[in-house]
Amino acid sequence: MICARRLALLAALLLAASSGPARANEYTKPNVRAVTAFVRIDPAEPRRQLAPALAVLRAARSEFAKQGYPVQTLRVVTQPLAELVSGRSDADVLALLNELDGLAAQDGFVINVGPAMLRDADDPRAMRLLAQGLSSLERISGSSIIADATGIQRRVIRESAALLRYVTDHSPGSRGNFNFTAMAMMQPYGPFFPGTYHVGAGKQFSVGFESANVVQQVFAHTRGDGDAAAKELAAQLTIHAKAAAAVGQQVAAATSWTFMGLDSSPAPLADVSIGAAIESYTGARFGSSGTLSAALAITTAVRSLPVKLVGYSGLMLPVMEDKVLARRWAEDAFDIDSVLAYSAVCGTGLDTVPLPGDISEEQLARIFGDVAALASKWSKPLSARLLPMKGKRPGEQTDFSGEYLFNTKLRALP
Looking at the predicted structure, is the pLDDT value of residue 398 above 60?
Answer: yes
pLDDT of residue 23: 53
- Read off the pLDDT of residues 194-203 as tens digits, 9 standing for 90 and up: 999 999 999 9
Number of neighbours of residue 96 by Cβ within 10 angstroms: 22
63 versus 3: the higher-pLDDT residue is 63
Residues facing residue 75 across a β-bridge: 36, 110
What mean pLDDT value characterizes the chain?
Answer: 92
Number of neighbours of residue 362 by Cβ within 10 angstroms: 10
Residues 242 and 378 in one domain: yes
Q: Are 273 and 211 in contact (CB under 8 A)?
A: no
pLDDT of residue 79: 98
- Predicted TM-score (pTM) of the model is 0.92
Looking at the predicted structure, is the pLDDT value of residue 259 above 90?
Answer: yes
Q: Are 320 and 354 in contact (CB under 8 A)?
A: yes
Residues facing residue 309 across a β-bridge: 262
Last residue of a domain, one of 152, 184, 216: 184
Looking at the predicted structure, is the pLDDT value of residue 133 above 90?
Answer: yes
H or E element that contains 325: helix 323-330
Residues 62 and 163 in one domain: yes
pLDDT of residue 18: 42
For residue 200, being part of any structural domain is answered with no
Q: Are 302 and 314 in contact (CB under 8 A)?
A: yes
For residue 408, being part of any structural domain is answered with no
- Read off the pLDDT of residues 283-318 as tens digits, 9 standing for 90 and up: 999 999 999 989 988 999 999 999 999 999 999 999
- How many residues can be counted in the chain? 414
| CATH number reported for the structural domain that contains residue 136 in this entry | 3.20.70.20
Q: Categorise residue 108: left if φ over 0, alpha if ψ from -120 to 50, beta otherwise.
A: left
User: pLDDT tier at 14 (50, 70, 90 boundaries)?
Assistant: very low
Q: What is the mean pLDDT of residues 171-190?
A: 97
Residues facing residue 38 across a β-bridge: 77, 204
Range of the domain at 252: 208-389
Residues 373 and 266 in one domain: yes
Residues 143 and 290 in one domain: no
User: pLDDT tier at 229 (50, 70, 90 boundaries)?
Assistant: confident
45: Cβ contacts below 8 Å, ≥ 6 apart: none
Sign of CA dihedral 281, 304, 314, 292: positive
How many CA atoms, within 13 angstroms, populate the side-chain half-sphere of residue 66? 18
Degrees to nearest 5, angle at CA 286 with 283 and 291: 75
Look at the chain and report how many structural domains it folds into: 2
Q: Are 207 and 247 in contact (CB under 8 A)?
A: yes
Q: What is the mean pLDDT of residues 31-54?
A: 97
- DSSP three-state, residue 373: helix
Residues 39 and 125 in one domain: yes
Residues 247 and 333 in one domain: yes
